[in-house]
Amino acid sequence: MMIRIFSSCAFLLFVTLIVSAADDKPATPTLAQALGTNVVGKHTFSPAWTGQCAVVHATGIFTQAEPPVMATNRYRVKFDTVVVAPKAPIGNVGPRGLARAEKDGGYSAMHGQRDNLPGDTKLQSAKTLADLEKLLGQPQGFPSSAGEGSDRVSWSAFALNKDQSLDTLQVNAVVEKRPRARDAHIHSLEILRGKAAVEVKTPEKKDNKSDEKKSDEKEAEKKD
């Protein structure tokens, strides 16, 4: 009898330790909490911040029609990860930014954090790559070839607002180095702006037709 009581007590203690360990699991931080960390790496936060962006200015090759898939996907804004870069980051991503977590464990759509974003008028008045760099800093990532003597460069950034929302800015440019020119000239320019806020998930609506069908089936069973 005493052995059974001892075994029962040991089992209850074991279950209690498991539950306590589960309760001690750290909660997923919010965006504000994740942005406050200085630990290098990626930090998932919840709830995610979502929204939309749109092209507000386009010249040159950026005025061409987009493939349907690109036109549908690239205007959706979603952030659920804070990325804190090491002291010597690769690709000029900035000290920290927001990104979207991917299923393979990586992340995409990296936007560097800024106190404020330059206005459209200043960006549109830029004539050279150097002009854009004065406003935005070094291009993010690595330039990709856009044809003979031309490169495509880009920037993505965000700034937090006091109204619990954030603004996004994406700038894409095709620049070309002309003979005897000191700086690369801007051939084509695209500016996208967006806004994101805390994602609010609406509860799924019940299928009334399905409920009515089940009620009818029950009534039929009663009659039988």
**74-118 residue pLDDT tens:** 899 999 999 998 877 666 777 899 999 999 988 999 999 999 999
103, two tokens: 């299923």
Residue 196: CB atoms within 10 Å:
23
Question: Which 3 state secondary structure label does DSSP give 182?
Answer: coil
What residues form DSSP beta bridges with 190?
Answer: 58, 172
The answer to whether 146 and 152 have CB atoms below 8 angstroms apart is yes
Mark out the alpha helices in the chain (DSSP H runs). 2-23, 31-35, 68-73, 120-124, 129-136, 208-223
Counting runs of H as helices and runs of E as strands, what totals does the chain give? 6, 8
| CA 33 and chain centroid, separation | 16
**Residue 224 banded pLDDT, cuts 50, 70, 90:** low
Segment 140-187, tens digit of pLDDT: 876 676 667 789 999 999 999 988 899 999 999 999 987 777 889 999
3-class DSSP assignment, residue 3: helix
- 107-113 and 150-160: which strand pairing? parallel
Element (H, E) at 161: none
Least confident of 13-17, 44-48, 110-114: 13-17
